[in-house]
Structure 1
Amino acid sequence: MFKFKTPSNKTRKIMSEVALGSDIDYEKSAIDKIKDLTHHEEVKITSSGNNSIFIALSAIEGDIIVPDQGGWHGFKQIAKFLNKNIITLKTDFGLINPKEMDNLEINDNSALIFTSFAGYAAEQDTKSISKYCKNNGITTIEDASAGIGDSKNLLGNGNYSDIILASTGSPKMINVGSGGFISADDDEIFKKSALPQKLSKASQITCSGIDCEIDNVKENLEATINATEYLKKHLTNSLHPDKRGVNVIIPHEDAKDISWNLKQNLTTDKSGFITTCPNYNRVKSKAIAIEVKNLDYGCLKKENLDRIIEELKINNLQ
């Protein structure tokens, strides 16, 4: 049985101690660490990733551009709630080609919101996205829930993305079980969204968890990317095989039945790590996703990965 990812023992211990009473300002400490990761001057810790999205989108006056797949359904739901005009950007199974925006009618003061990894399977080219958007007056909003702590400093980097936000719920890279954050250099973003910030303030318990979990985020992300790369190397038909990612997506016409078979043999102690597409958050075509990001880091050993590969072979997915 595989183990589903949970906060570390150290994180749980600290959060328990804070719940019993503590004078330590974990919020300030966590904010300082997030600034080091994102290279942004301003950081707010929030009660959830969706609240971070709400804060970011409420500060945008123009259109909200979203990828046609491989994003997060909350992008569209929150933009719709805020009465924003939503523009859908055509992608390559979630991967953004900024030049596709040449074909769109985009108003001034608009923003593109996207995830670090398209469908969790392939890293976005943040450099080219940033260059295009800066040249065209488009604000970039990166949901770095899965990309924060990138050792290559390409994802979750404020030198490329104007706004960076993340969920720190389960099973994200900063895995606390609740909370989130938003960062930017432009303090006008926070001035325009003062009310939603007040409504989404995180507790010291959540802040203490973020402060602790963030210490290992670089190492944990690297382990997840390496495990995903290992699986991709043993497959011939995964999407975006040459891109870094934190899951593996395998197109198949019988995705529903095969996913059911895999779930019977690749079990976890809690939630599973096999998902089925079509799914906007992954790809909008029939496929199976192996959610490596959901697994405890102790499970990312060669023998466990080989077991996943063997099950994929049995189901003719290799």
Structure 2
Amino acid sequence: MPNAHCLCPDFVSNHIADPVIFSDVFMGRLLNSDDQIILDEGGLLDLAYTKAVSKSTDAFTFFKVWQAGLNSKNNGKVLLAPNCLNDDDYGLVFDVTRVAASTFDKKILAVNNENYRPYLEQMSSLRISLYNLQNIMPQCISNPFPKKLSFDVLSHDIGWILHRLARTKSKGNSEDDYNDHLRNMLLCKHYEVKDQTREGDSASRISAGELDVVIESNNYLFSIIEAMKLNSLNVAYINEHYSKLLTNYNPLGITNSHLITYFYGRDFEAWWGRYVIHISDIDLSSLGLPSSTTKVGTQVEDMPYTSLKKLTQYFEVDGNSFSTVHYAVKF
């Protein structure tokens, strides 16, 4: 039987930034189901949620994605209760749930039940249940449904994530921060993601190399993602990262990979033009590829956003084809 859920701000701030919980609970159980979400006409709960997630960039980003999903529903998913005036978050959640007009079973999703002790007697008489995360999460929340992998779909998803990243991140953040965002959003899309895994050789060939992001399929390598932060056409730096991606960090010869540039310099368009020329004309010997490797072609793709660029470079070695997708995103 469907339920009507009212979320405590603590529940949102404590759980929404976890990629698996976000995907399986917030997007799955709460959004893409027959259950209702109880809010108030005055927008006080929305304000409380925004304040609760304001100290975490990831929590704020995930909340905005979930909020956009709620706003897109026009089939009674959101149940707006009459205005309730209460300066206390827990009292507000109780009041909104109490006056909401629904024949569904009403549930308050909380983190600490003790915060609702003053309302327990009334909740019992009104048949309002107090739930925690374990009451609503799927039994296999730590094992998301396996994703049918496609390199084309993966590349499309990476492009979408980078476009979201450019909209929500400031240029002062580090490369690791950007990679964390990329990893978290890929996890939300049910990819098997590993980050900064020590595999292959480092550039010096002395120690194990550190991969930025690895996509696996049933614990086998599927694709490798390497990222760099640039403000100019630093040819040596680009070649170093490209070489890491294709040779040092790729001892198994994975045929599909991604090289991402987080660009924070001036004149993105001019820089991208020079980047395309450099990649198109790159000397394969500088990347450490076998002498039998040949370039098949370099294809620049049109993107819907001027701040996001994409090209794909195709190779052939010993009769086998492989490719690398290059993304550049402007901050």
| Structure possessing the higher relative contact order (Cα contacts under 8 Å, 6 or more residues apart) | 1
TM-score of the two chains, using structure 2 as the length reference: 0.25
Higher strand content, 1 or 2 = 2
TM-score of the two chains, using structure 1 as the length reference: 0.26
